[in-house]
Structure 1
């Protein structure tokens, strides 16, 4: 299964530059004229999109029936996310029809449902990122649509498209408003200062990113009971 996903991933990435290149033009016909005979944009896009759908199909089938233990493998989330992003680039084409957009969102929705079922902390972050990307794709799609009922049609089919996070989701706790680390200088300096580094191996209680004005946020998941079901081996 992983061999199949890697195979389609290579196909998708080889041809995806045509998909991203076309987004810089009002239409794919104009993009093809600008590219000349260098490559066929439509064939490249069709190949990339077909491989993206195959990646999602293989990963979803593996997690649901063929190899349920893969739900604990964070690597599967990578394939699902990359495939979803490729399909959403395809939706941004100004010539996208309502039925084609709905069919594409159905495929990506299946990828998100698979991410939601996975028993790993990483895929849950990928799921939130996929939702944000889909909202962005919907907004970009509607901004160029002539029919005012596009949004109603999409949100009726996919109610989660109307949900908006109160703040950008990062997957990690927000930074505190006040510095959480002690100040490097507790008082006025007295006497000469030295820039010589401390002896190697000497303990230091001030080894934090605060010395450079940067604060790191731990990427370990919280261990409270109200969070996702994380396997004990990951805590």
Structure 2
């Protein structure tokens, strides 16, 4: 028997307004749009744990890049942004990549144009997909600097990112690419508290589970692998055992 799945609906009027403003390049609040989409889901989003409260120092929320057949990654951002009280600044991919040349040549450039426009409309930071190709390294470094500038200079910066940077074929947690841990460490060193969340489908529901704060006080901000491991174990604690991968 096929397992029950949530019904992900795209309400007509919000979808049309978003499409209009993406075409025109008008700014929008992602949190408001996220609430409209999540309200349309059936059954309702199931939220567990304590939703982080964003204080004056800001926050970073780390979440898994959940994958399952038929699930679209944008529901990760929609679900998290719908329940956190502050508008989140998402670090998002700049483009989709594909293993075959036909889709890589046709769909990757189209997705790059669309995602850049979405980042502009919502004020997000886009980064080259992981792992970056040689000609994308400079652009990725510039994106990291932009996020760090936001973390250090903006009032109440609230940043969300998925350290894995892409879909895992099995749906379980996978090791983040090199540099992800160091990036998280630099955000923590800028004074932003870290917390973890896990998102997954279970028993016909989309579930969003928040965990406790992530403590990096005893870790060197430049220790890439150690920080990545701590971050992923914190995310794993918010997931069912079968989705934790190597972080059980």
TM-score tier (shorter): under 0.3
Q: Which protein has the bigger strand share?
A: 2
Normalising by structure 1, report the TM-score: 0.28
Q: RCO (CA 8 Å, sep 6+): is it higher in 1 or 2?
A: 2
The structure having more radius of gyration, on CA atoms, is 1
